C-alpha cells in the first residue's frame, strides 16, 4: 500500500502571515492523521518562513503515524533531526534562496557527503530517503551513499502530464524499476495532485509513500480537509 504523508508547511505559512497560532499547526497535523493520512511531513528551512524548528519539536510527541522531516542537511538541520528522531529524514538539496524544491541531488558528485550524513542518521535509528530526479544513475549512487529509500522529484511529471501523460511518466517508471532492482524503497513528491496522482500510482504501484502538501492544502480550501484527504487516499487504492 502506498502511504499518504501530508506536508503541512502551507498551514504554517498561513499562520505566520498573521502571527499568533491560527491555524494551529499541531492540531491540523493531528486532524490529518484522524482523517486517514498515514504520515506527516515538514520541511523546516533556515529562515523559518513556514515550519519553525520549535514546531518540529512540538510535533514529535504528537504524531502517531510516520513523521518525516525533509531539508538540506546543514549542521542546524542535522542537529534538529537528531534531537527529534523522526521516522524518516528526507535529504533535499535546497539552497537558502529557493522558493521551493526544484531538483534532486547529484548523488554521484555528493557521494562522500551523503554517505557521512546518512551514517549519522542511521546511528540514531532514522530511516534515510534521498531526493533525486528521475535518473537511474542517481538512484544507484543514493544506494551507495547508504539511503534506505529515494524520493523522486515529480514536478517534471506533473508539468507534462496534461500534454502527454505516457511520455511524462516514462522516465519515472524506468527509474522506479531501477530503484526496486537496487533494493531501495521508493517515495515520490512535488506537484502531485488529484489530477495526476492516480495515474502515477497506476504505473508505479510499488511506491511506498507520496508526500503532498501544496495541492492538497489548496484543494482543502474548497473541499474541506477531511474530504480532501479521503479523495487523495482514494487515488492510491
What residues contact 142, with CB distance under 8 A and at least 6 apart? 105, 107, 114, 130, 132, 150, 184
| Owning domain of residue 190 | 3-235
Closest by CA to 130, choosing from 157, 110, 160, is: 110
Q: For the chain, what is the domain count? A: 1
Bridge partner list, 67? 40
Supply the pLDDT for residue 103. Answer: 80
pLDDT the model gives residue 94: 78
- Please, which residues have CB within 8 angstroms of residue 219's CB and are 6 or more apart in sequence? 193, 194, 228, 231
Please name the helix (run of DSSP H) or strand (run of DSSP E) that holds residue 151, with its range, or none: strand 149-153
Q: One of 33, 70, 151, 209 is an active-site residue; which one?
A: 70
pTM for the model: 0.95
> Would you give per-residue pLDDT tens digits along the chain (237 residues)?
999 999 999 999 999 999 999 999 999 999 999 999 999 999 999 999 999 999 999 999 999 999 999 999 999 999 999 999 999 999 999 766 665 666 889 999 999 999 999 999 999 999 999 999 999 999 999 999 999 999 999 999 999 999 999 999 999 999 999 999 999 999 999 999 999 999 999 999 999 999 999 999 999 999 999 999 999 999 998
Calculate the CA dihedral of residues 107, 184, 192, 236 and round it to 10 degrees: 180
Choosing from 66, 190, 201, 209, which is the catalytic residue? 190
- Terminal C-alpha separation, the chain: 8
Q: What is the pLDDT of residue 39?
A: 98
Of 43, 50, 201, 209, which is the active-site residue?
Answer: 43
CATH number of the domain within which 130 lies: 3.20.20.70
Tell me the C-alpha distance between 12 and 9, whole Å: 5
Active site residue 177: no
Beta pairing class for 149-153 and 127-132: parallel
Catalytic status, residue 43:
yes
CA-to-CA distance for 29 and 37, rounded, in angstroms? 9
> Which pLDDT score, from 0 to 100, does residue 102 have?
66
Catalytic status, residue 66: no
Residues pairing with 131 in the sheet: 151
Q: Please enumerate in sequence order all residues whose Cβ is within 8 A of that of 159, keeping only pairs 6 or more positions apart, or say none.
A: 168, 191
Amino acid at each position: 500500500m502506498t502511504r499518504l504523508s501530508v506536508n503541512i508547511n502551507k498551514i504554517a505559512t498561513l499562520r505566520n502571515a498573521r502571527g499568533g497560532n491560527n491555524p494551529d499547526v499541531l492540531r491540523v497535523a493531528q486532524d490529518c492523521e484522524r482523517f486517514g493520512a498515514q504520515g506527516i511531513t515538514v520541511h523546516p528551512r533556515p529562515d523559518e518562513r513556514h515550519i519553525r524548528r520549535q514546531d518540529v519539536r512540538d510535533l514529535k510527541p504528537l504524531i502517531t503515524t510516520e513523521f518525516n522531516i525533509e531539508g538540506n542537511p546543514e549542521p542546524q538541520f542535522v542537529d534538529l533531526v537528531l534531537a527529534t528522531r523522526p521516522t524518516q529524514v528526507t535529504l533535499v538539496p535546497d539552497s537558502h534562496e529557493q522558493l521551493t524544491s526544484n531538483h534532486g541531488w547529484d548523488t554521484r558528485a555528493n557521494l562522500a557527503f551523503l554517505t557521512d550524513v546518512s551514517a549519522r542518521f542511521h546511528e540514531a535509528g532514522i530511516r534515510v530517503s534521498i531526493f533525486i530526479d528521475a535518473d537511474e544513475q542517481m538512484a544507484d549512487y543514493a544506494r551507495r551513499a547508504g539511503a534506505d529509500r529515494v524520493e523522486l522529484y515529480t514536478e517534471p511529471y506533473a508539468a507534462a502530464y496534461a500534454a502527454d501523460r505516457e511520455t511524462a511518466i516514462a522516465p519515472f517508471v524506468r527509474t522506479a524499476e531501477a530503484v526496486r532492482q537496487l533494493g531501495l524503497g521508493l517515495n515520490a513528491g512535488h506537484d502531485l495532485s488529484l489530477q495526476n496522482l492516480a495515474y502515477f500510482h497506476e504505473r508505479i504501484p510499488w511506491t511506498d509513500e507520496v508526500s503532498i502538501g501544496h495541492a492538497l492544502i489548496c484543494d482543502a480550501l474548497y473541499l474541506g480537509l477531511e474530504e480532501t484527504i479521503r479523495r487523495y487516499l482514494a487515488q492510491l487504492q
